[in-house]
Amino acid sequence: MPVPAVTPTTESIEGCAQIELRDVSHAFAVEGGTLPVLDELSLRVKKNELTSVVGPSGCGKSTLTRLISGLIKPDSGEIFLAGDKVVSPRPTVGMAFQNPVMLEWRNVLMNVILPLEIVAPDMPRNKREERALELLSMVSLEGFEDKRPSELSGGMRQRVSLCRALVHDPDVLILDEPFGALDAFTREELWGVMYNLRRIRPFTCLLITHDLRESVFLSDHIVVLSQRPAKVQYTTNVDLGEDRQVRDLYAPKVTGLLTELRQHIEIAQDKNR
Amino acid sequence: MKSYRTILAPMAAIIVFLILWELLVWANGWPNYKMASPSDLWPAFWEFRGLFFEYGWDTLWRTVAGLFLAVLTGVFLGMVMGLSRMARDALYPLLVGFNAIPKATIVPVLALILVGMDDLNTVLIAFLISFFPIAVSVSIGLSTLEPEYRDILRALGASPTTIFIKIALPKTLPEFFGALKIAVTLAFIGTNLMEIVEPHGKGLGHLFDSGKINADYPLMFAVLIALACLGILLYYIVVALEWVFAGWAERE
């Protein structure tokens, strides 16, 4: 009997899901009962892949990020990060939010270093700074390390926020509408920054967004969630090849995919009307 | 240009104020026993200069001691109320009610309970009158912390203590110093209140009271000016501390 070219063990490592949700349901207690937010949601993100989660407003996307990072516990179902069940927050996660909160009393460099103070308190100071500076240069912020956050523009703050989320080399990065509050051109610029960052230094990422172009440009896979309580309504792969450019988003080949996604969002919005 | 704005401009304002005052008294032909004029103040000060420094010191140290107590208590109450919704709901009305009581009414009560302990009851009044703004602003500073601030560290498994030290505490410093500027003035009022209402032979309040008894208006006004100078000194010490510890919050 011929031996299979790829053994099951190798496959399970190669294709191992860094983020996995199994039948996750969650509800919030509200006055006079409960408000179901997630309904038996399952999804997987493989190592070094980026999956975008899109869906109608208020469908529970942000709840999803808080569940994965262990900030809240699901009512039922299980969440795994790198094969380990999530029961509490863990240092192997990096997070960035729409609001790139900065510690205004620290300079940019010390803001980026913050997670290392928690997860690697014994790391020598110069090693920490080296890492932070390397990341800052990857997002084209070299020379800004001594600036105060108040001296930065919104786009720059979001770049710093990305560096901070990555400085401790997390297994997974969870981004909750990180570019949502930026103007259109700055947003596109940051898509490029993010894309290049992943090419130089791959990481596993779950991106919550409501911008379909953003999801197409950055993702390997896109998941459309239904109206609350959210379920996976539709998933698709993005096959745009390796060398993506923001201007490609205005080319005809992308339009088909965007139209398709738009339709599924509309279906999701209509479902509960 | 900057030194002109920060030093010369306020000096000019003070000089203009003194000239207007002098003119007002001169134009109305008010005698000394009705309203003193600025030119009467220096002789009055010089005559009692020893007492001014001795009593000024009494007032100063008792104010600072009261303020110190107010900071400890205010920060503690502010932390409790800022971090626990329940504590805030429970304590707020009580504190507001307490703050609304004119402190002059507490002076005789304290003076009776702590009869003879002049320093202690003066310090206590300074404390009682000044801890409220500190408690309120620290609690507001802590309770209005955006959840993202907490989540950045909490998502990494940081303990509540670490989050408090690294984020909540420094983030609240500008509010704290804002309140401290109000509190320092209040504490000063509290000290003088006790010194004037329950004279016990100490402090600038006592000197004011002796001026009143002897109908020595220049002395009374000289005390007022001395109080103003001490008040300015204390206020700017707080401003300097603010600049050192929370200077980052200032926008250029």
Convert the pLDDT of each residue in A113-150 to its tens digit.
Answer: 999 998 888 999 999 999 999 999 988 888 999 999 98
* B35 located within any domain: no
By C-alpha distance, the chain A residue nearest B244 is: A105
B243 & B140 share domain:
yes
pLDDT in tens, A68-119: 988 888 898 999 988 888 888 888 899 998 888 899 899 999 999 999 998 8
Closest CA to A105 of B153, B177, B167, B238: B167
B16 & B60 share domain:
no
Q: Across the interface, do A168 and B249 touch by the CB < 8 Å criterion? A: no
* B166 located within any domain: yes
Q: What does the alpha-carbon distance between residue A87 and residue B112 come to, in Å, rounded to a whole number? A: 60
Q: What angle do CA A163, A158, A109 make, to 5 degrees?
A: 45
B71 & B4 share domain:
no
Does the pLDDT of residue A209 top 60, yes or no?
yes
B95 & B130 share domain:
yes
Q: Judge whether B41 and B228 are in contact, CB under 8 Å.
A: no
What is the residue range of B15's domain? 1-30
Q: Judge whether B24 and B207 are in contact, CB under 8 Å.
A: no
Q: What does the alpha-carbon distance between residue B30 and residue B24 come to, in Å, rounded to a whole number? A: 9
Q: Across the interface, do A115 and B162 touch by the CB < 8 Å criterion? A: no
Most confident of A22-31, B35-44, B173-182: B173-182
Average pLDDT, chain B: 88
- Where is pLDDT greater, at B196 or B67? B67
Q: Which of the residues B144, B145, B149, B152 would you substitute to probe the A interface, choosing the one with the greatest number of A C-beta atoms within 10 Å?
A: B152
B146 & B52 share domain:
yes
Q: Is B169 left (phi over 0), alpha (psi -120 to 50) or beta?
A: alpha
Q: Residue A118: which of B149, B153, B249 has the nearest Cβ?
A: B153
Give the percent of chain A with pLDDT over 90: 24
* Summary count for chain B: helices (H), strands (E): 12, 0
B6 & B59 share domain:
no
Domains of chain A, each with CATH number or no CATH: 16-270 (3.40.50.300)
* B36 located within any domain: no
The pLDDT assigned to B1 comes to 59
B60 & B10 share domain:
no
* B218 located within any domain: yes
pLDDT band at residue B33, thresholds of 50, 70 and 90?
confident
Q: Does B156 touch chain A (CB under 8 A)?
A: yes
* B125 located within any domain: yes
* Summary count for chain A: helices (H), strands (E): 8, 10
B20 & B72 share domain:
no
The pLDDT assigned to B152 comes to 86
- Residue B142 distance to chain A (closest CA, Å): 14
Q: Does A105 touch chain B (CB under 8 A)?
A: yes
CATH number where B150 lies: 1.10.3720.10
Q: Does A69 touch chain B (CB under 8 A)?
A: yes
Residues of chain B in contact with residue A103, where contact means CB-CB under 8 angstroms, are 166-167, 170-171
Q: Across the interface, do A89 and B157 touch by the CB < 8 Å criterion? A: yes
- Residue B179 distance to chain A (closest CA, Å): 19
B52 & B22 share domain:
no
pLDDT in tens, B156-206: 888 888 888 888 889 899 999 999 999 999 999 999 988 888 877 888 988
Residues of chain A in contact with residue B156, where contact means CB-CB under 8 angstroms, are 89-91, 93, 115, 118-119, 168
Q: Does A67 touch chain B (CB under 8 A)?
A: no
pLDDT band at residue B32, thresholds of 50, 70 and 90?
confident
B168 & B225 share domain:
yes
Question: In the predicted model, what is the mean pLDDT of residues A22-40?
Answer: 86
By C-alpha distance, the chain B residue nearest A147 is: B248
- Residue A164 distance to chain B (closest CA, Å): 9
* B7 located within any domain: yes
Q: Does B169 touch chain A (CB under 8 A)?
A: no
The pLDDT assigned to B139 comes to 92
Give the percent of chain A with pLDDT over 70: 93
B229 & B177 share domain:
yes
B24 & B115 share domain:
no
CB atoms within 10 A of CB A230: 28
- Residue B158 distance to chain A (closest CA, Å): 6
Q: Across the interface, do A150 and B153 touch by the CB < 8 Å criterion? A: no
Amino acid identity, position B168: A
Work out how many domains chain B is built from and give that number.
2
Q: Does A149 touch chain B (CB under 8 A)?
A: no
